[in-house]
Amino acid sequence: MDILVVENAGHFKAEDLRAAFPAVTVHDPGTVTAAMEVCAPCEILIALAHEIPDQLVAAMPRLRWIASLSTGVDHLWTLESLNPGVRVTNGRGIHGPQMAELAFMYMIGLSRDFNQMRENQKNHVWKRQLQPVLVDKTVVLVGVGVISEEIAHRCKAFGMKVIGVSDARTSTPGFDLILPRKRLHEAAAMADFLIALTPLDASTRHLIDVRIFAAMKPTAFIINIARGDVIDEAAMIAALRDKKIAGAGLDVYSVEPLPDGNPLWDMRNVMMSPRIGGMSDIYADQIFPVVEHNLRAYIAGKSDAMKNIVR
């Protein structure tokens, strides 16, 4: 059995796979260009879904399973060469710690105006002011899954009220209230922090739009650590510019990398990061147990016992 690993940024260690499965041939060429030379006999592809090009899939006639190292796999559905019969699994369930910490970086950084603190430091300005706290604030998590549960757990430790928005659940530990998606505007009106966490599909594209921004308090913040197009970016920019909301913390964007001319770069009330939400310095250790379990199931002919099956 031949397996192709295309990853060179520390998200996965091919040597760990070789050690756990000595009878399997693991190809680890490092780049997509090099992978094109060795991919033909491989029936398993391990990579970040959004970094898999169509030409690589087209060059793998024996491909039977894509083990995505990331949770989001929407990019795969755009690949013309992907056979509908190819099994797809993802990295769901491992990103909670890093995503929760990023959410808190934004909540604290935005509410305490860390952008201004950095500017004051740069200009050697000593300016003290009252500091907002998270206790008794309301966070609305749009999408209730594993990551939301991690965030909710930490929010409770900070004394916050947690509201979820989901059509899949009506209650779950750590949440004070869960509302259906049709009541998102009501939840948004209660939010001090509105955090987008839902996957991107046809039903969630621009889920957070001008109507939702109009419902939010002018003191509230929007945080997007889901996918860029879950939010209507033009409507968000207008709300930020017109001070309809207080600010935004953004890790994802409609176009990535964010174009140089996008006004978000220079907005005083915006904190940004370059799509790092799911990344961590222990990512390879977080994802390996999922891949290992699934490969053992695959080898045993028990594909239905695999974890995180997307299709």
Domains 2-94+280-305 and 96-272 fall in the same CATH topology: yes
Q: Is the CATH code 3.40.50.720 the one for domain 2-94+280-305?
A: yes
Please compute the mean of the pLDDT values over residues 277-300 and round it to a whole number.
97
Q: Where are the domains positioned within the chain?
A: 2-94+280-305, 96-272
Topology annotation, domain 96-272: Rossmann fold (3.40.50)
Whether the link from the prior residue into 257 is cis, omega within 30° of 0, is: yes
Of 176-185, 197-206, 235-244, the least confident = 197-206
C-alpha distances out from residue 264 to 234, 254, 295, Å: 10, 12, 43
Q: Is the pLDDT of residue 309 over 90?
A: yes
| Three-state DSSP class for residue 296 | helix
What is the pLDDT, as a whole number, of residue 74? 87
How far apart, in whole angstroms, are the C-alpha atoms of residue 217 and residue 8? 43
What is the pLDDT, as a whole number, of residue 54? 98
What is the pLDDT, as a whole number, of residue 9? 86
What is the pLDDT, as a whole number, of residue 146? 92
Please compute the mean of the pLDDT values over residues 68-94 and round it to a whole number.
95
Whole-structure pTM value: 0.90
Q: Is the pLDDT of residue 155 over 90?
A: yes
**Rg, C-alpha atoms of the chain:** 21
Query: C-alpha dihedral over 71, 76, 78, 79, to 10 degrees?
Result: 160
What is the pLDDT, as a whole number, of residue 104? 98
List pLDDT tens digits, range 187-201: 999 999 999 999 888
What is the percent of the chain with per-residue pLDDT over 90, rounded to a whole number?
Answer: 97
Q: Would you state the structure tokens that stand for residue 48, as one six-digit string?
A: 């970040």
How far apart, in whole angstroms, are the C-alpha atoms of residue 92 and residue 79? 21
